[in-house]
A and B are shown apart, each in its own frame.
Chain A
């Protein structure tokens, strides 16, 4: 730590020395160039360009004032910058009030405006704030002036923030494109072609008319960009599809247990998801007054939601559903009624409007995936979360005693009972397990969907189609169906629109189920024949 800190100190001292020396050398040039801003349009352009090239921070306020119509001229040629009610001298920066009648606003035309854009960009590129440097590179990129090449080269050399570097490189390439030197021009074309930027593409397309000599190179560069853009689009669609798939998976997993494994149709499943989301809201509200707990409210909501919905599920199974085994249509109606009542109860208790759920800091913001695909952190978390939950469910069913008993009871109830398994208890636990998973899904979905009493209604049909499409009883099928449908939906969206894409997917699944009634991964064996 210590040596590193001393090196830093030295660098800072060096930089400060350099900065102190710079204005001393540039002061004369700044003062000589400044009055030109008050001259005719020709003089203005020249002065703007000279000030821009100087790289003197004091030129910035004057140029900004000029571009925003806040630069005033007195009869003696002194330039003042108006800042609200106060005025300052453009040369010294000292306050200097002048009467309204004595001042004259300096007008500019489009040519000056263009020069100003470039000059402001040049000046901002030395700003200490990376955001401002980024914006400067952006402005230079748009103004495209070969004269900026040296400035950009220098800026690129000292830039350390990758995001800004990339932008400066793009601006440099664009500026080289309009250079008269053929070598520089080719370098510009190659550099633009190496990006995946639609702007670089349109600049290259524009440059085709004026650059007949390097047309093949330009075409090649455009093709390069197109290829990269296409890859990015695919990557983007893939991620969006997987993200939607993870939502479908979460929503469907609970149902894959209750309906898929157990064969009980639960139309209140969506309401269990909704209850999970409301548990998140409650946990968050309770944690609000306990500072150390606050960031952990979301992870804490996961087991809470599981317990709440599992308890309700168990009560529902023991109290109601148990009486209707072997009568699926009645079960469907009964659970629908229960769902209706749960929804109304929540509406009365919490109100019909949306409840706000705050994302913890680590779930906020945007990340960049490979191929420049931007993703929001919460989507990425939910994707990972859904896979973890899936793995846990699989482990619970395959590797625990409970999972074994559950499979035994669902496959051969009478024999399981004869072997001493308490089938009633297993039924209740299985249903509670599936309901609890729905609750966990609700925690995750509260991060991306509106938490309102009818949150669940939107998921129930999708969930059923995912479970049936994947093959009832096959968890792996549910996984593949969820991601498959998510990706297909997002692939259709660009040319069908979001609503029609959803309709297409619904219709496609309906037709598919008709072709293969047992789904993608049918349960095999003699039992399935009956």
Chain B
């Protein structure tokens, strides 16, 4: 079991009077898989932004192990071992699938190191493994810009795998995927968890059920309910939020 514990407490984010997060608390243990659900505007993406350094919290504690994430920038946080798959896939269109993965591969990140970089056998093997995993082997040397939406989703996941992070934040991984692909993704994530901590944000409750992990429900930027999928589905507050008052 490797990695560190992700700890959020009392986190608030205020945009011009609007509280995107309100006194949010969340703990993810090393190796744990966690699903985060909630209606639109519940603060799921903002929570990921706070963890990855994109948004600075107005108040609250965000730590990874004993490191204060609120004092670090995106690059430093990524290098700590926190990877993120974005809701809207943003791959580098001008580069090939292979090159996209190569950029994500864990390696020294400075300009000089990149200038002197030579892709060694180990790295190449790893890229090939991941290319196979995400089913893009025969497209490895196509430009990412010409991939379909679903393939870009896979490439995003692949780039996150290449980083080999301790904690993976996965934002809506199965949006736009076929049922078969959804199933494949669920299996993939289940396999990853255990070695890595994984936080999955998803709307698709069937997918969340398939993950079979602890579920956190957010509503209006705050923690509404936490527990197994059956527990939260029977929680009257969750029902009220999802079905309306």
Binding site for B on A (CB under 8 A): 524-526, 529
Bound Cα distance A529, B20 (Å): 13
Interface string of B7-20 (1 = CB under 8 A from A): 00000000110101
For A529, the chain B residues whose CB sits under 8 A away are 15, 55
How many interface residues does B have (CB within 8 Å)? 5
Interchain Cβ contacts within 8 Å, total number: 11
Bound Cα distance A526, B18 (Å): 9
What is the minimal beta-carbon distance from A516 to any residue of chain B, in angstroms? 15
For A526, the chain B residues whose CB sits under 8 A away are 15-16, 18, 20
For B15, the chain A residues whose CB sits under 8 A away are 524-526, 529
Bound Cα distance A526, B15 (Å): 6
For B55, the chain A residues whose CB sits under 8 A away are 529
Bound Cα distance A526, B41 (Å): 12
What is the minimal beta-carbon distance from B139 to any residue of chain A, in angstroms? 28
- B183-208 contacts to A, CB under 8 A, are none
Bound Cα distance A516, B16 (Å): 17
What is the minimal beta-carbon distance from B40 to any residue of chain A, in angstroms? 13
Bound Cα distance A525, B18 (Å): 8
What is the minimal beta-carbon distance from B46 to any residue of chain A, in angstroms? 9
- B47-62 contacts to A, CB under 8 A, are 55
Interface centre among B15, B18, B20, B55 (most CB of A within 10 A): B15
**Which 7 pairs between the two chains have the least Cβ-Cβ distance?**
A524-B16, A525-B16, A526-B15, A525-B15, A529-B55, A526-B18, A529-B15
- Chain A, Cβ-Cβ closest to B15: A526
For B18, the chain A residues whose CB sits under 8 A away are 525-526
Can you list 11 A-B contacts (CB < 8 A)? A524-B15, A524-B16, A525-B15, A525-B16, A525-B18, A526-B15, A526-B16, A526-B18, A526-B20, A529-B15, A529-B55
Interface string of B131-175 (1 = CB under 8 A from A): 000000000000000000000000000000000000000000000
- B1-30 contacts to A, CB under 8 A, are 15-16, 18, 20
Given contacts A525-B16, A526-B15, 9 further A-B contacts (CB under 8 A): A524-B15, A524-B16, A525-B15, A525-B18, A526-B16, A526-B18, A526-B20, A529-B15, A529-B55
Interface string of B50-83 (1 = CB under 8 A from A): 0000010000000000000000000000000000
Bound Cα distance A39, B152 (Å): 113
- Chain A, Cβ-Cβ closest to B55: A529
- Chain B, Cβ-Cβ closest to A523: B16
Bound Cα distance A146, B180 (Å): 112
Bound Cα distance A524, B15 (Å): 7
For B16, the chain A residues whose CB sits under 8 A away are 524-526
- Chain B, Cβ-Cβ closest to A526: B15
For B20, the chain A residues whose CB sits under 8 A away are 526
Bound Cα distance A318, B229 (Å): 54
What is the minimal beta-carbon distance from B155 to any residue of chain A, in angstroms? 23
Bound Cα distance A347, B220 (Å): 61
What is the minimal beta-carbon distance from A411 to any residue of chain B, in angstroms? 13
For A525, the chain B residues whose CB sits under 8 A away are 15-16, 18
Bound Cα distance A524, B20 (Å): 14
Bound Cα distance A524, B14 (Å): 11
What is the minimal beta-carbon distance from A525 to any residue of chain B, in angstroms? 4
What is the minimal beta-carbon distance from B52 to any residue of chain A, in angstroms? 14
What is the minimal beta-carbon distance from B93 to any residue of chain A, in angstroms? 15
For A524, the chain B residues whose CB sits under 8 A away are 15-16
Bound Cα distance A379, B55 (Å): 47
Bound Cα distance A251, B18 (Å): 35
Bound Cα distance A525, B55 (Å): 12
Bound Cα distance A102, B18 (Å): 104
What is the minimal beta-carbon distance from A522 to any residue of chain B, in angstroms? 10
Bound Cα distance A116, B138 (Å): 109
